[in-house]
Amino acid sequence: MDRQIRRLGIVLMGLFVLLFLQLNNLQVLQADKLANAPGNTRNATRDFSRPRGIIQTADGVVLARSVDVDTAFKRQRQYPEAELFGHVTGYFSFTYGSDGVERTYNNLLAGRDINVRDFSDVLADRVTTNDVTLTITKRVQQVARDALQGRKGAVVALDPTNGAVLAFWSFPSYNPQPLSGHDQKAVQSAWNALEDDANQPMLPRTYRRSYAPGSTFKVVTAAAALEQAPDLATKSYPTLRTLDLPQTNRDLPNFGGSSCGGALPALLKVSCNTGFAQMGMDLGTDRLTDEAEQFGFNAAPPIDLPAPARSAFPAKNSQPGLAQAAIGQQDVTATPLEMALVAAAVGNGGSIMKPYVTAEVRNHEGRVVQSAEPGEWKRAMSPENAAALRDMMIQVVNGGTATRAAIPGIQVAAKTGTAQTTGENSHAWIIAFAPAEAPKVAVAVIVESQPGLGDTVTGGRIAAPIARAVLQAALGAP
């Protein structure tokens, strides 16, 4: 009898061990896999039903909030500012998941990331959420929207000293509200309409769309000469109307058929294609690529938003390809965010700070549980060469191609760009920072090409007034 009881005990013990191991396997080792398995809507249902923190601007305007409703989901996400911040807040959808700040800070908004100081909340029978405060103000965002005047394009403004984004507007935009509804047929209809729109309203052009940067890239070429070939920075390039591209039967002209030449400051002031194209060939692929990568090309910027696009500078180029790349054409592409970081690097003594849109996260008691920690992303150039390049960009505003970016009483430094697209159409660019001697704001503006306008679309004519308006708003200037 005792022997049978011992056998039964051993069997029960074995079963208990197996059960213990399987529970640990399911609850620990495979927890994430099972939770994220296709078809498992439990998390989505739970998240959609639970309270969720607010997202607000730096000046206290609520951009996203959850309200109680009498439906199966119990709560409804609302976006009071609609399109104005759609690309920043993103959406929170039962069917399509989330994007933007809603996605990056999902766990904090839903209260799943609990700080150790809030351990009592783990034991309490309540759901605690966290509120996200952005670095962007509604006031500057509105100015960026109004200045773009409904044209396709993007505006980025940031603080070059710490990387805080101050405005992040691109048009067309979209209202996240219909995607967060409870009627899933209506949600799908709204999604399909946005997806089918040829203007791509859900695409944040600020950080996920790359363009040919045109002549704004000459700032990078100029930095390459200053940093890696000082003899080229002082070299006087011949005054030309066109440059004979080697290995081809083509010429590269200056804008509008003008003639230009001279040393680097003179070339930058009038945005001389022939001089910069020759400088690019003199620098060579390795040095120009190295400098471009010091500015952040060929890498995605570490912004706290999902899926930022890489800006690209091809590592292999023929001589005529180098000539085109040095003036921001050929296969060179850049996002507006990347070009804002280029301007910020010059203004900030050669240092590029990590960009971010969230200043802080506070818990339900108002205590800060997470705050931005500014840090350097890239070292693009020395402080001495950054100061020299800054002085050249000042002359671009004071008597060059960016006079329309000038602000009375505040010195602005800038570089314009006109990037060829198809036919006679061009993108209009500008990058700028101010006050030039101690910058508080750096901006990048692109207005996409508009058919039929031909060479009337230039960075100095179209983009510079937008940059001026945003700089004034961010600086609080009249």
**First CA to last CA distance, the chain:** 98
Q: Locate all alpha helices (DSSP H) within 36-148, ordered by sequence.
A: 42-49, 86-89, 100-104, 106-110, 119-123, 138-148
Nearest alpha carbon to residue 91 among 4, 165, 160, 187: 187
Q: Which two tokens stand for residue 141?
A: 């965002």
Give how far Cα 147 sits from Cα of 119, 447, 470, 473, Å.
48, 11, 8, 11
Q: Are the CB atoms for 375 and 338 separated by under 8 Å?
A: no
Six token digits for residue 64:
């996203």
Q: Is the dihedral of CA 178, 179, 184, 186 positive or negative?
A: positive
- Give the C-alpha distances (Å, rounded to integers) separating 439 from 156, 262, 357, 399: 15, 29, 19, 20
Q: Which of 293, 288, 358, 355 is nearest to 323 (CA)?
A: 288
Residues facing residue 251 across a β-bridge: 244
| Sign, CA torsion 460/461/463/469 | positive
Compute how many other C-beta atoms are within 10 angstroms of the C-beta atom of residue 125: 5
**Quick check: 82 and 177 in contact, CB under 8 A?**
yes
The partner residues of 371 in beta bridges, in order of sequence, read 360
93, 215, 351, 449: the catalytic one is 215
DSSP string, 308-374: PPPPB--S---HHHHHHHHTT-TT-BB-HHHHHHHHHHHHTTTEEEPPBSEEEEEETTS-EEEE---
Are the C-beta atoms of 118 and 363 separated by less than 8 Å? yes
- State the SS3 of 366-427: CCEEEECCCCEEEECCCHHHHHHHHHHHHHHHHHCCCHHHCECCECCEEEEEEEECCCCCEE
Residue 68, both tokens: 């109680």
**Count, residues in the chain:** 478
Q: Is 271 a catalytic residue?
A: no
Residue 327 vs residues 100, 114, 209, 340, 373: alpha-carbon distances, Å: 33, 50, 20, 17, 35
Catalytic residues: 215
